Chains A and B, each alone.
Chain A
Amino acid sequence: MKSTYDCPPALNDNAIIEFCKTGFLTLEQVVDDATNEKTIEYVAKNTAEEPVEILEEDWFVQNVVKNPSLAGAVRSLLGKNFGLPIAMANHRVQTPQPAQEWHTDAGAVYGYELNYLQVFYLPQECTREMGPTEILPGSHFLFAHRDAMKNIGRIRGSYHAVAPAGSIVITHYGLWHRRSNSTIKTLRNNLKWNYWRTESPTRDWVIDPDFDITKADFNCRQPTYRQMAKDAYDTAEMYLWLRGEHEKFKLIGGQGWPLSLNKNAIPYGFPLDIETS
């Protein structure tokens, strides 16, 4: 059954901008040990690839789906009254295995809009040897046919989601990813589901009084996989879309906003009808 949820937001502007840059956010060890163990027991009995019945379990919904750290981050990115999952997948993998091919999940839409999020929940520790999910930071802005990226192997700057038990990775659905190679014998569970936007984007996350958008750094870490400056343009456009101010996003080019260079005044090209703090 479809339902929505609301809670206080947890992210501030800088965290929102960081998500716009990378397309993901890792919350380490946010689910308690008892719930992690209960989840592992549950999926050991229900080994389906799509154990949707777990969404009927109140302990799972309260402690994982509505986990305060997770829900607070989702609330910040998708706005209030976000839609709760109606589907569940579990990547239950007997390792060791070779790496998967790089891919995006079916239906991925690239670009600055963020109308749903995909999350990965690790009920047990996932070490590098266990073949964690490998993510390409910023790839939500790299348009590629999902079947045309199969000859790409090792990528400089990829991120391996190595994390302790109870960790959750929140991702833009369009991120390129794959299961990385594993080298030890074990059984790895990785539960995956989506949250959905139900309300128009607006800047209703945590406001830090010291934040100044004219001084915010929109540049991404290298490599950005994009033409110089495009990473900052992409980040700023997504950030303004999330603020509900996409129509104000205009570029004058050159060294104007949103390029982050040392400046002694509000950058040229900064949209003057945007609140700076």
Chain B
Amino acid sequence: MQDILYLHTRVNSLTSDILAMRSVTNGQISDGPENPDDWPYQSVLEAIRDGWRVIKFPELALMMDESRTYGLGFEFILER
């Protein structure tokens, strides 16, 4: 079964700190621990080192619009 990990980062970097997370493991959706310090990964790079593969990088086109902020940070989607 495919596991999915959504990570929203503060900036467009694999080493950026994480703003938000959700995982789907064995078909079960989890928002992770309430305290961000307890999240399983503190960066996308940490997740990659643990075997996750990035299947979608953040879309940057909307970030070029300085007049408005779109969505929440930069969304990486990973699987394993």
Contacts and interface: CB of A to CB of B under 8 A. Distances in A.
A272 interface: no
Interface residues of A, number: 22
A154 interface: yes
A237 to B, nearest CB: 11
Interface string B14-30: 00001111110000011
Given A152-B8, A154-B34, A230 B20 contact: no
Contacts of B50: none
A2 interface: no
B36 A156 contact: yes
B22 A153 contact: yes
A155 B20 contact: yes
A99 B32 CA distance: 12
B32 to A, nearest CB: 5
Interface string A139-172: 0011110001101111111000000000000000
A238 B18 CA distance: 28
A149 B73 CA distance: 12
Contacts, number: 66
Nearest to A155: B20
A152 B6 contact: yes
A226 B65 CA distance: 12
B22 A225 contact: no
A143 B39 contact: no
29 contacts: A141-B69, A142-B70, A149-B72, A151-B6, A151-B75, A152-B20, A152-B72, A153-B22, A153-B30, A153-B31, A154-B20, A154-B21, A154-B33, A154-B34, A154-B39, A155-B19, A155-B20, A155-B72, A156-B18, A156-B36, A181-B31, A223-B10, A223-B19, A225-B69, A225-B72, A226-B69, A227-B66, A227-B69, A230-B66
